[in-house]
């Protein structure tokens, strides 16, 4: 798929010239674009009202809810992109895995994947398994007009960690034990998850998403040696499949605590490397050899600081971002639930004002 084939490519309805997509491609921008991870809800009272009594995965599979929740922060904050309201376990649930998101816990898998026979319960993902996702994306593209929609998926390692552990884990002991104890099964599991993630992203792009982000939330728990041997080939497979399928759609690659892996994650097939708040943007640019746009990286905890202190950090990050070929302002991780939504709106306005050319 080329840009001219994209569902949002008609002249009057085209996000391709938006600041976010231009920054992702390293092109001049009128201002530094802003969006926030976990911006679709979390801190918004209108989101909490809409979600009351509705399970997370039910909300993620209901197009009307997905559309409204995705649009809420765009309306309120004036961000430069929407991020599809979903969850990284949506595609594995779609292929038949028994998984639920427990409030205050996270994804919990009823039967963890730990033996060869368990892999048979995880078939490949086909577009007809997620028609609701495509429907929501098409509706959003129609509503958003020139504002781009970012699609997303979980990276194979992070998905595998949930599937093997059975839920969130601090130490990933079962995951690392399988990785080293049965590498053949590990690679087969990650290859299957790479197909699922790539297919899930392709569904979103085919329906109109203008950019995508691959979340490898737990990759920072790995040594660089383990990342390169056991994880990077599968993330590369996802990103390369998407590059072949939709070469004009920018690919953002993000992980938490991945300062030592930034160059490897970028070289896996990213156009933009996400940087968490543990690494300064100038250091991130140096570590990625100045060849990639960067995204980040305000510490989400600083949104609770007095405005004077917060403003100083925003100014520093906007300034440091100028060292990169392109800069997308974001948090170093997701919006915290108790964040004052009005502060987020002020952050967007300040970044736009500081960076106007």
Among the options 61, 114, 162, 271, which is catalytic? Answer: 162
The reply to whether 353 belongs to the active site is no
Residue with tokens 């590369």: 236
C-alpha 121/C-alpha 242 separation (Å) is 25
Residue with tokens 């989400």: 300
CB neighbour list of residue 75: distance below 8 Å, 6 or more residues apart = none
C-alpha 47/C-alpha 39 separation (Å) is 10
- Using CA atoms, how far residue 319 sits from 26, 183, 198, 307, 315, in Å, is 16, 44, 34, 18, 6
Which element (helix H / strand E) includes 154? strand 149-154
Among the options 51, 278, 316, 346, which is catalytic? Answer: 51
CB neighbour list of residue 167: distance below 8 Å, 6 or more residues apart = 102, 105, 106, 107, 108, 109
In three-state secondary structure terms, 293 is strand
Between vectors from CA 143 to CA 239 and to CA 200, what angle results, nearest 5°? Answer: 25
The reply to whether 42 belongs to the active site is yes
Among the options 38, 114, 192, 236, which is catalytic? Answer: 38
Count other Cβ atoms within 10 Å, centred on residue 298: 23
The reply to whether 75 belongs to the active site is no
In three-state secondary structure terms, 74 is helix
User: DSSP of 240-278, one letter per residue?
Assistant: HHHHHH-TTS-EEEEESS-GGGHHHHHHTT-SEEE--TT
Question: What DSSP state is assigned to residue 286?
Answer: H
The reply to whether 51 belongs to the active site is yes
Among the options 22, 47, 76, 87, which is catalytic? Answer: 87
Which element (helix H / strand E) includes 349? helix 341-355
Whether the CB-CB separation of 354 and 346 falls below 8 Å is answered with no
Whether the CB-CB separation of 34 and 348 falls below 8 Å is answered with yes
| Residues designated catalytic | 38, 42, 51, 87, 162
């Amino acid at each position: 798929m080329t840009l001219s084939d994209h569902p949002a490519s008609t002249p009057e309805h085209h996000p391709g010239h938006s600041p976010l997509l231009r920054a992702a491609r390293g092109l001049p921008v009128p201002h530094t674009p802003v969006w926030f991870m976990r911006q679709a809800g979390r801190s918004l009272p209108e989101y909490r009202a809409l979600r009351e009594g509705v399970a997370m995965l039910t909300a993620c599979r209901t197009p009307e809810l997905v559309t409204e929740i995705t649009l809420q922060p765009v309306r309120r904050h004036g961000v430069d992109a929407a991020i599809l309201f979903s969850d990284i376990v949506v595609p594995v649930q779609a292929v038949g895995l028994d998984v639920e998101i427990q409030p205050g816990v996270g994804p919990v898998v009823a039967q963890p994947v730990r033996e060869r026979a368990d892999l048979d319960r995880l078939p490949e993902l086909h577009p007809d398994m997620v028609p609701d996702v495509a429907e929501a994306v098409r509706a959003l593209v129609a509503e958003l007009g020139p504002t781009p929609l970012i699609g997303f998926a979980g990276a194979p390692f992070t998905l595998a960690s949930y599937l093997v552990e059975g839920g969130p884990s601090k130490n990933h002991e079962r995951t690392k034990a399988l990785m080293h104890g049965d590498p053949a099964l590990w690679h087969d599991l990650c290859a299957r998850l790479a197909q699922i993630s790539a297919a899930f992203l392709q569904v979103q792009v085919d329906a109109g998403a203008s950019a995508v982000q691959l979340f490898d939330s737990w990759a920072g728990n790995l040594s660089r040696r383990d990342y390169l041997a056991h994880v990077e080939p599968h993330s590369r497979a996802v990103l390369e499949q998407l590059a072949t399928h939709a070469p004009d759609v920018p690919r953002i690659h993000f992980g938490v605590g991945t300062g030592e892996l930034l160059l490897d994650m970028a070289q896996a097939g990213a156009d933009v490397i996400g940087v968490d708040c543990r690494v300064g943007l100038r250091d991130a640019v140096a570590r990625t050899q100045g060849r990639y746009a960067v995204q980040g990286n305000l510490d989400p905890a600083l949104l609770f600081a007095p405005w004077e202190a917060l403003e100083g950090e925003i100014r520093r990050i906007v300034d440091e971002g100028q060292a990169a070929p392109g800069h997308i302002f974001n948090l170093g991780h997701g919006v915290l639930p108790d964040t004052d939504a009005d502060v987020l709106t002020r952050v967007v306005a300040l970044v736009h004002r500081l960076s106007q050319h």
